[in-house]
Structure 1
Amino acid sequence: MPHKIWAGSLKFGLVTIPVGLYSATEEHGIRFNQYERGTSDRVRYRRINERTGKELEGDEVVRGREIDGVLVTVEQHELDEVAPERSGTIEVDEFVDLSEIDPVHFQKSYWLAPADRRNARAYALLRRAMSETGRVGIATFVFRGREYLTAVRPEDDVLVLHTLFFLEEIRDPANVLEHTSEDERYDSRELRLAGDLIRSMSTPWRPAEHYDTHTARIERLLEDKAAGRANRAVSERTEPPEPVDLADALRRSTARVRAGTGSPGNTAESSRGNTPPDRRDAESVSTLSRDELRRRARELDIRGRSKLNRAQLERAITESPGVHRSRQPENEPAGKKPRRRGRGQGGGSP
């Protein structure tokens, strides 16, 4: 059962709805510990006085910063005194059109749920009204000792709370970037060709088709090394492309997409004929969604498949003798790729 990380009320006008806050996302990255090379000894970091080299205890360390050359230190109780008061309410101050909020403001997402069945009616009413008006609520609330600006919006059958960056937290690109496109010139033909390419590459958003391949490769590397298997070959870095005529590149890219050879930036297909069969199988498996991996594992009758993670499934499928046989998915006509489920079809993740 998901853990409720905050409990309070959502308030708009004179209506108050008890709600709970739940994380909508989770990180799947791999965390490493540090060891002394050649041993199994963990490496720890300690508080060291950089001038004397003396190791310090926690109560000997104080926070501080220099202001105009003067060191100012603060105690924890002083920070507590100026911290915002704990709030049990997400109070909506105004409703705005979602399209008015630049996505650069979005920070982190949470699910908002009614505290119990008694409050489900008011919760559903607010969600439906926001959906029909196309508006999102702008609110502030205090969470873990910090005040947050938030946007509350409807999504399917739930309300989503997004924490937002305050305007002063967002950098001006003019002050950050060395080069911008403001003064660049291009002709109408290039603009038309770029538009043609974008339209030819346009497709519905299918989140289930995108996943973290880097983490899967790290998991596979660790499991291979733990089992004493040889490391898999690492693909070589591609060199930066040589400058080409922009209009010609746009025209050829559009023609390539329309011909069905895939994304213009994908060179894997064009070099597929020179790829060894075993590596070709691994590349093919790595492009499958999790549901497709599980279906393939069932077809190959891989034992213990329900307990395998993604990297283990990929390796088991690749190493299975049956993977080298051409196979047409069930109930799919020849030449057609199996459908991948998107969020609206129950396959996405927050």
Structure 2
Amino acid sequence: MRSFWKGAITFGLVNVPVKVYSATEDHDVALHQVHDADGGRIRYQRRCEKCGRVVDYAHIGKAWDSGDRTVIISDEDLSRLPAERSHEIEVVEFVPSEQLDPIMFERSYYLEPDGSSAKAYVLLRRALEATDRTAITRFALRQKTRLGALRVRDDVLLLQSLLWSDEVRDARFPALDEPVRISAQELELSAALVESFASDFSPEDFRDDYQDQLRELLDAKLAAGDAVDTEATLGRPTGEEGGGEVLDLMEALRRSVERSRSGQQDRGSEQKKPEHGRAQKRGSVG
């Protein structure tokens, strides 16, 4: 686990240097897109709509449209904003932990003491445990000012970024405004159903069956030799800004030849495509 950010928790005159780590990770199998005819990788090009050229990352900026005008903002512009330069996790208040609505939680980060002594870190951790309160903080990360909740998890300080209040939508459903009559018997039966499923939550008891089965499928295909050489799926980089236009032209020519040939031959029926497995959101390729 590697730290991706360093800063300091500040409250009053207390300064607690910390290293920041992502507390979670994605376990999904990383799939990419290929051409089903030859297995070649599908790449996305960053093409300028005005000049038609493929643009390198070094020349890509950010912009905001006001309607009829576009404001272009450079990285230098953003670096001058105070929040972007700050590496402080500023504690603004300590609140009862039960007042935090879980819907506001966004990302979680572990904080490690950074320095020769962990005394200030341990002192803050014990203060949070003794008072059963959560520290509400402000900090800057990835060009955004963020609201955060600082609490204790397994003897480690955990920082969770929070959504701003205007980012949480109100739930307004007209159907719930209509009066609904629930009988005592229906309520009793529903309570009995809930009780029949009652248990203590153990996250380790649950597995992502789809990802497990996907890994088994991939292993089986490798074992059966149902795979192609990775190098063979990679095209040649053009190395030139205008190269993307040549690739587009070649693709158009190739498709034209294939269409012409298919018109001259009576294939009788289309080639059957492989069957897809269950359609699940987690397994989609973006």
Of 177, 189, 199, which residue of structure 1 is paired with 2:185? 189
Cα separation, 1, equivalents of 2:50 and 2:221: 42
The answer to whether the 8 Å contact 2:78/2:143 transfers is: no
Cα separation, 1, equivalents of 2:223 and 2:2: 35
Cα separation, 2, equivalents of 1:172 and 1:236: 31
Q: Percent identity?
A: 32
The answer to whether the 8 Å contact 1:221/1:232 transfers is: no
Deviation at 1:182, TM superposition (A): 4.4
Cα separation, 1, equivalents of 2:4 and 2:48: 37
Secondary structure of the 1:29 match is coil
Aligned to 2:72: 74
Cα separation, 1, equivalents of 2:59 and 2:114: 43
Aligned AA for 1:56?
Answer: V
Give the TM-score taking structure 1 as reference length: 0.58
Deviation at 1:184, TM superposition (A): 5.1
Aligned AA for 1:132?
Answer: A
CA RMSD of aligned residues (A): 3.0
Aligned to 1:144: 142
Deviation at 1:208, TM superposition (A): 0.7
Q: Is 1:96 paired with 2:95?
A: yes
Of 165, 170, 173, which residue of structure 2 is paired with 1:172? 170
Do the aligned partners of residues 180 and 50 (structure 1) sit closer, same or farther apart at CA in structure 2, a change above 3 Å counting? farther
Of 111, 122, 125, which residue of structure 2 is paired with 1:124? 122
Aligned AA for 1:23?
Answer: S
Aligned to 1:334: none
Deviation at 1:22, TM superposition (A): 1.2
Aligned to 2:36: 37
Aligned AA for 1:110?
Answer: Y
Aligned AA for 2:189?
Answer: L
Do the aligned partners of residues 50 and 122 (structure 1) sit closer, same or farther apart at CA in structure 2, a change above 3 Å counting? closer
Cα separation, 2, equivalents of 1:163 and 1:180: 33
Deviation at 1:146, TM superposition (A): 1.6
Per-residue CA deviations over 1:282-318 (Å, capped at 9, x if unaligned) read xxxxxxxxxxxxxxxxxxxxxxxxxxxxxxxxxxxxx
Aligned to 1:205: 201
The answer to whether the 8 Å contact 1:83/1:145 transfers is: no
Do the aligned partners of residues 173 and 215 (structure 1) sit closer, same or farther apart at CA in structure 2, a change above 3 Å counting? same
Query: Structure 1 regions of 5+ residues with no counterpart?
Result: 238-350
Deviation at 1:55, TM superposition (A): 3.3
Secondary structure of the 2:4 match is strand
The answer to whether the 8 Å contact 2:84/2:141 transfers is: no
Cα separation, 1, equivalents of 2:120 and 2:61: 48
Aligned to 1:221: 217
Cα separation, 1, equivalents of 2:201 and 2:177: 29
Cα separation, 2, equivalents of 1:99 and 1:215: 34
Aligned AA for 2:145?
Answer: E
Give the TM-score taking structure 2 as reference length: 0.70
Do the aligned partners of residues 117 and 208 (structure 1) sit closer, same or farther apart at CA in structure 2, a change above 3 Å counting? farther
Do the aligned partners of residues 79 and 17 (structure 1) sit closer, same or farther apart at CA in structure 2, a change above 3 Å counting? closer
Per-residue CA deviations over 1:90-131 (Å, capped at 9, x if unaligned) read 11110111211110100011111211451x222222212211
Secondary structure of the 1:173 match is coil
The answer to whether the 8 Å contact 2:21/2:109 transfers is: yes
The answer to whether the 8 Å contact 1:153/1:161 transfers is: yes
Secondary structure of the 1:195 match is helix
Deviation at 1:196, TM superposition (A): 2.5
Deviation at 1:42, TM superposition (A): 1.5
The answer to whether the 8 Å contact 1:22/1:110 transfers is: yes
* Bigger shift: residues 57-66 or 135-144: 57-66
Q: How does 1:188-337 map to 2 (within 5 A)?
A: 188-228=184-224
Aligned AA for 2:102?
Answer: P
Higher RCO (CA < 8 A, seq sep 6+)? 2
Cα separation, 2, equivalents of 1:94 and 1:187: 45
Cα separation, 2, equivalents of 1:83 and 1:228: 57
Do the aligned partners of residues 62 and 209 (structure 1) sit closer, same or farther apart at CA in structure 2, a change above 3 Å counting? same
